[in-house]
Amino acid sequence: MIREVPEHYRPNVGLMLISRDRRIFAGERAGMPGAWQMPQGGVDRGETPVEAACRELAEEVGTTRALLLRESRTWLTYNFPPEIELAHGKGRWRGQAQKWFALAFIGIDADIDIHAHDHEFDAWKWATPSDLLDRIIPFKRPVYETVLKEFADLVS
């Protein structure tokens, strides 16, 4: 499955965690006020994308209280802006290729602990698709639009 990732793109997963009322988990990036996004993270060597999605859910959201609903049909890519490419890509990656997973949150808000692991987020909330698009970092917006369209029936 990883062989489908375009060359020079870091294999990554994205998670659309959906509440019972069909809103989407959004986290405000640690140390980046106003930078909201859905959870995401790299696919480790020897790990499948679905395994990475489960690990990232536990690490970034601090819960495993979710059911897998759907996987995106294709890998979606975005390029890092130059300042991020130097800091995070280290010249090795142009950007990220993401396999997205839609997950139904089956817990209660108290089951979410964004400080459980690496502290990726300073805050979190349940957002509507339009609110999420309004708050996403511009270079990720095309991927978010595609993901929201592909999983639209799950959040409308």
pLDDT in tens, 49-99: 999 999 999 999 999 999 999 999 999 999 988 876 555 656 678 899 999
Q: How many angstroms separate the CA atoms of 125 and 38, rounded?
A: 10
- Residue 43 is given by DSSP the state P
Type of residue numbered 33: P
Q: So what's the architecture of 2-155 in CATH?
A: Alpha-Beta Complex (3.90)
As a 3-state breakdown, the chain gives helix, strand, coil percent values, each rounded to 5, of 35, 30, 35
How many of the other CB atoms lie within 10 Å of CB of 59? 15
Mean pLDDT of 27-37: 93
Structural domain spans, the chain = 2-155
Mean pLDDT of 92-114: 95
Q: How many angstroms separate the CA atoms of 139 and 118, rounded?
A: 24
| Token pair of 9 as six digits | 């793109």
